[in-house]
């Protein structure tokens, strides 16, 4: 059965983060990182944290923006933890917008607890899920995070790294994962590097992973490098350990990251997103010049491209559209009806700028 018949229009472009560090308010810093990644998902947010002592994982998640989900959590700075992972979620599928599907998912199995956050989509997820259900597995959600947990739980080894090394080659599609068992944090990226994931340094001998580098700026971390396609990185008290799990056939970062998903102040593949968008605007002006009176970007993603088009064409760059800052990103709403309704209340033209103009 085709994937789209099993998971109709189910796509994810969420924000994930997580780190391992001592003597820093890690849960609080993870929350700051989620604020920086809020543009990647507005349906739910969550954090899971472990103290490294084998105790149960602390976790909190909910529907809504980061500010809404954590408005009543006042003790994040005092929460004693050594590891933490965070997630903000975006899905096209309205009926799957449930608290149960918000992440990080925290699941208990025979070797302890796992918290998992995921960005992307497993193309063979429905097939793997069907195989597991035939073997008796019971799923509570339709997320790939839960699917990964079931696959890990079926491995004979208690070593999480070895279990993942056996499981990850079975995964087909675009994905980045962050996981913690309370002792360490593990980051995974698919063999094409379709979804971004970067590594930063925080505090003294601490490390942090995030979907975008803008999260490091917000929380005071220092960017180190991008996680390689097909790479597994392990963050623990001894530093960063790397292992290549999948062949790097070719780099294939999703083009929508540069065009829409990523924040302009983030860097992808060593290139600033704003500068890339501006150059795209310049190239568009070279290839498709038009007779016009002005150039205007549609807030916010095309502002950079509009500036490049205006520079190259010599046309004035005007603010012809005003954005209602209290409306979230419209394109990532789950249904077409919601996207159209959101656009109506999100953007308004400036009459004096556009009247009588080409």
Domains in the chain (CATH in brackets) are: 3-244 (3.60.20.10), 270-354 (no CATH)
Q: Which token pair is 292?
A: 């016009």
Per-residue pLDDT tens over the stretch 30-39: 999 999 999 9
Percentage of the chain exceeding pLDDT 70: 91
Q: Is 81 a catalytic residue?
A: no
Task: Quote the pLDDT of residue 238.
Answer: 92
Between 355 and 59, where is the model more confident? 59
Q: Tell me, what's the pLDDT at 338?
A: 66
* Catalytic position from the list 14, 17, 31, 254: 14
Q: Is 209 helix (H, G, I), strand (E, B) or coil?
A: strand
**Tokens encoding 54:** 């084998």
Would you say 269 and 257 are in contact if contact means Cβ atoms under 8 Å apart? no
Residue with tokens 């597994």: 232
Cα 76–chain centre separation: 22
Whether 40 and 87 have beta carbons less than 8 Å apart is answered as: no
Residue 3's pLDDT band (boundaries 50, 70, 90)? very low
The residue with tokens 């890990």 is 152
Burial 74-110 (b: 16+ CB within 10 A, else e): eebeebebbbbbbbbbbbbbeebeeeebbbbbbbeee
Cβ atoms of 258 and 276 within 8 Å: the answer is yes
Report d(CA 180, CA 164) in Å as an integer: 12
Question: Could you give the angle at the alpha carbon of 111 between the alpha carbons of 110 and 112, nearest 5°?
Answer: 95
pTM: 0.90
In the predicted model, is pLDDT for residue 4 greater than 50? no
Please provide the DSSP assignment of 15-54 as one string: EEEEEE-SSS-HHHHHHHHHHHTGGG--SEEEEEEE-SSS
């Amino acid at each position: 059965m085709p994937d789209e018949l099993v998971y109709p229009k189910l796509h994810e472009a969420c924000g994930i983060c997580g780190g391992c560090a001592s003597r820093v308010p890690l849960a609080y810093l993870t929350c700051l990182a989620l604020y920086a990644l809020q543009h990647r998902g507005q349906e739910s947010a969550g954090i899971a944290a472990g103290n490294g002592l084998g105790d149960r994982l602390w976790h909190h998640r909910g529907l809504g923006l980061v500010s809404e989900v954590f408005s009543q959590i006042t003790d994040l700075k005092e929460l004693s933890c050594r590891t933490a992972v965070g997630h903000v979620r975006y899905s096209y599928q309205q009926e799957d917008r449930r608290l149960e599907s918000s992440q990080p998912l925290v699941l208990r199995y025979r070797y302890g607890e796992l918290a998992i956050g995921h960005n992307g989509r497993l193309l063979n997820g429905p097939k793997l899920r069907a195989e597991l259900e035939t073997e008796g597995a019971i799923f509570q959600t339709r997320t790939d995070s839960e699917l990964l947990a079931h696959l890990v739980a079926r491995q004979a080894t208690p070593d999480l790294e070895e279990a993942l090394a056996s499981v990850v080659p079975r995964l087909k599609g675009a994905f980045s994962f962050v996981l913690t068992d309370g002792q360490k944090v593990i980051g995974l990226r698919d063999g094409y590097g379709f979804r971004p994931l970067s590594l930063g340094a925080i505090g003294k001998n601490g490390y942090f992973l995030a979907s975008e580098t803008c999260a490091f700026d917000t929380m005071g971390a220092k960017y180190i490098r991008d996680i390689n396609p097909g790479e597994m990185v392990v963050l623990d008290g001894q530093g960063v350990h790397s292992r290549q799990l999948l062949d790097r056939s070719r780099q294939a970062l999703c083009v929508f990251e540069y065009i829409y998903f990523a924040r302009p102040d983030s860097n992808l593949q060593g290139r600033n997103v704003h500068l890339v968008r501006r150059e795209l605007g310049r190239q568009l002006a070279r290839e498709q010049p038009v007779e016009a009176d002005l150039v205007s970007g549609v807030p916010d993603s095309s502002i950079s491209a509009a500036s490049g088009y205006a520079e190259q064409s010599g046309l004035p760059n005007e603010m012809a559209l005003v954005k209602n800052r209290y409306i979230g990103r419209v394109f990532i709403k789950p249904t077409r009806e919601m996207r159209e309704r959101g656009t109506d209340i999100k953007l308004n033209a400036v009459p004096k700028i556009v009247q009588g103009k080409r």
